[in-house]
Amino acid sequence: MPYFESPVDGTRLHFVDYGPATGQVIVFVNSAYFGTEMWEYQMLPLAAEGYRCVGLDRRGHGRSDDVWGGFDLDTLADDVDGLLRHLDLSGVTLVGHSIGTAEVVRCLTRHGVERVARVALVAGMAPGAVRSADHPEGIDPGVVEAGNEVFRRDRAAFFVDGARSFFALDLPGNELSPAYVQSMINRCHGATARGGAALGDLAATLNVAPELAKLDLPALVVHGTHDTSAPLDLTGRRAAELLPDGTLKVYENAGHGLFATHAEQLLADLREFTARD
């Protein structure tokens, strides 16, 4: 199983590396709670087509080390950059989902874009959904903190109760089998209680709006109309407006889990985006 050590503190981090070593590189950064398996409907077809698809299990997630520290955004971003350097990747399309989009943004503003050709923000939390001085329309921080308290009290119920809205299962076109949904609920427990709670606290204060404006590279923003975790107007639409070269694609009826409900559409959009000069 491939691992590398975090450049920050030596935490052992697991990654996958699919497809030919000479293929065009796409690096995937996961949502909270999930490991690289969340991207199966994108990584596997793309790797079969000749792309090199690389994915990282965040610290405290999947098969990476269970650690107490390092869940601040700088360290998480340094872990992503550490993977790019460990594999000596270049010309990368860097794809993030949910809180992973903030890690992607911080990685690029902290370490530069020399290795990265383009970036895709999928159902992103970036630039941040919570109310702040420069984002008065945002969600009341108290609401997010209350949700984090529910997570700390009973994360098993938190995952089960949130699954329908996560995948927007009550809306047309979002047909997933009960078995698949249950498997993803189970996979959420691949993240440690510490890791999940720490990312919830990070989301409650997240604000990378000034950094988005500095990303001078092609950027694709993909977002669902019914994303309750990261509402479109507070996150995806703002991100596209802030990015110097941002393109917004809105998926009708999609929720936060559009990587599954709209798997083929996302696959096609990523394929088209990686071909962009």
Query: Given 14, 97, 223, 256, which residue is catalytic?
Result: 256
Other C-beta atoms lying within 10 Å of the C-beta of residue 265: 16
Q: Under a CB-based contact definition with an 8 Å cutoff, are residues 93 and 26 in contact? A: yes
Query: Does 97 qualify as catalytic in the annotation?
Result: no
Query: Does 6 qualify as catalytic in the annotation?
Result: no
d(CA 49, CA 92): 16
- Per DSSP bridges, beta strands 52-56 and 12-18 are antiparallel
Residues 6+ apart with CB under 8 A from 157: 150
Residues 6+ apart with CB under 8 A from 2: 14, 15, 16, 17
CA–CA distances in Å: residue 180 to residues 63, 176, 184, 239, 261: 20, 7, 6, 30, 11
Other C-beta atoms lying within 10 Å of the C-beta of residue 181: 18
Residues 6+ apart with CB under 8 A from 208: 73, 102, 105, 106, 109, 126, 127, 128
Nearest to 270 by CA among 95, 98, 114: 95
Query: Given 6, 31, 64, 98, which residue is catalytic?
Result: 98
Query: In one letter, which amino acid is 16?
Result: V
Query: Does 74 qualify as catalytic in the annotation?
Result: no
Q: The dihedral of CA 199, 76, 4, 12: what is its sign?
A: negative
Query: Given 57, 81, 227, 269, which residue is catalytic?
Result: 227
Active site residues: 98, 227, 256
